[in-house]
Amino acid sequence: MKILANDGISQSGISALEKDGFEVLTTTVAQEQLMKFINENEIIGLLVRSATQVRTDIIDNCPNLKLIGRGGVGMDNIDVQYAKKKGLHVINTPAASSESVAELVFAHLFGGVRFLHDANRNMPLDGDSKFKELKKSYAGGSELRGKTLGLIGFGRIGQATAKIALGVGMKVIYFDPFIEKISLSVSFYDGSSVSFDFESQPKNDVLKNSDFVSVHVPAQKGYVIGQAEFEIMKKNTGIVNAARGGVIDEVALVAALENGKISFAGLDVFESEPSPEIKILMHPNISLTPHIGAATNEAQDRIGLELAAQISELLK
């Protein structure tokens, strides 16, 4: 029984699958060659991340295929309902990368309020000749403690982000049409924990009352944050998107940065990914990462083990 992990899988996941009698192939097959490879090698399970597309052509023309797995949360690169209609198992790992993405959100937030993204661009160029000028330029930072973080979407990743915010000393408010109320338990290294009760607020209230906004929603047909939403926000709000490209209107974002409505943005995902717009890449007030929210060793181990457990349960 062969499994193709076309976008890679952790060694822990490979070992778990091999222990259960599966053969794991980690060859990266080009999209246009994928159908042929699956059929020639009698692949029964195809594992992908965000790079490989699993559309109706593969589903219709790979009769040996029994399972499609996504190492991560969003499955917008898979025709999920069509695959299920054709009798295939479709799985993902919704819980495995929550903490990793949440920590990246805070990497952008901490970097944004202290201008690290821009300082790290300019210090190698001018640090030896304009040290005092740069020091003055970056001296007006702010703290996260005591500020309000607004979360648009309060699923697993939103909740993990909220827990870090609470630990930092921030107030957390959120909007989520599917989660009206929830109690979160924040655990500490010594085994103790503290519980916090939350209730969803209207989206516009969250935008209006937040010092920082982080977006945690799946891919949408339209923008979740656009010009109208930016206008509602406080002046000098910071915003982070580590969810999906296209949920924030990047043209409106650049305009909001230029007119001072938004102080900085942290982007891990992009509308035109994998070729982000030059205006985004070159903007001094945008902190940039190349879609690495789940790309920690710990998260990849959890993803691999979670995929392996589901595959063994479904296919053995």
Is 229 one of the annotated active-site residues of the chain? no
Among 244, 250, 283, 306, the active-site one is 244
pLDDT at 219 exceeding the cut of 90: no
**CATH fold of 2-94+297-315:** Rossmann fold (3.40.50)
Query: 254-281 pLDDT, tens per residue?
Result: 999 999 999 999 999 999 999 999 999 9
Neighbour tally for 214: CB within 10 Å: 29
Of all residues in the chain, what percent carry a pLDDT higher than 90?
A: 94
pLDDT at 72: 86
pLDDT at 298: 95
Higher pLDDT, 199 or 94: 199
In DSSP notation, 130-196 reads SHHHHHHHT-----STT-EEEEE--SHHHHHHHHHHHHHT-EEEEE-TT--EEEEEEE-TTS-EEEE
In the chain, where are the structural domains located?
A: 2-94+297-315, 98-288
Pull the structure tokens for residue 53.
């597309």
pLDDT at 135 exceeding the cut of 90: yes
pLDDT at 306: 94
pLDDT band per the 50, 70, 90 thresholds, residue 147:
very high
Compute the distance between CA of residue 315 and CA of residue 269 in angstroms, rounded to an integer.
33
Q: Average of pLDDT values for 93-105?
A: 93
Among 216, 291, 302, 306, the active-site one is 291
Strands (E), 8-107: 23-25, 43-48, 67-70, 89-92
Measure the CA angle with vertex 175, ends 96 and 98; round to 5°.
10
Q: How far is CA 9 from the centre of its chain?
A: 18
pTM of the entire structure?
Answer: 0.89
pLDDT at 158: 97
pLDDT at 29 exceeding the cut of 90: yes
Among 23, 103, 273, 277, the active-site one is 273
Strands (E), 23-160: 23-25, 43-48, 67-70, 89-92, 148-152
Is 199 one of the annotated active-site residues of the chain? no
pLDDT band per the 50, 70, 90 thresholds, residue 199:
very high
pLDDT at 141 exceeding the cut of 90: yes
Compute the distance between CA of residue 201 and CA of residue 180 in angstroms, rounded to an integer.
8
pLDDT at 316: 82
pLDDT at 220: 86
pLDDT at 95: 83
pLDDT band per the 50, 70, 90 thresholds, residue 53:
very high
Neighbour tally for 40: CB within 10 Å: 9
- Helix (H, G, I), strand (E, B), or coil: what is residue 44? strand
Q: Average of pLDDT values for 90-105?
A: 94
Q: Which amino acid is at 267?
A: L
Compute the distance between CA of residue 274 and CA of residue 290 in angstroms, rounded to an integer.
8
Select from 3.40.50.720, 3.60.40.10, 3.40.50.300, 3.30.530.20 the CATH code of 98-288: 3.40.50.720
Q: Is 275 exposed, middle or buried (0-12, 13-18, 19+ CB in 10 A)?
A: exposed
Is 55 one of the annotated active-site residues of the chain? no
pLDDT at 188: 93
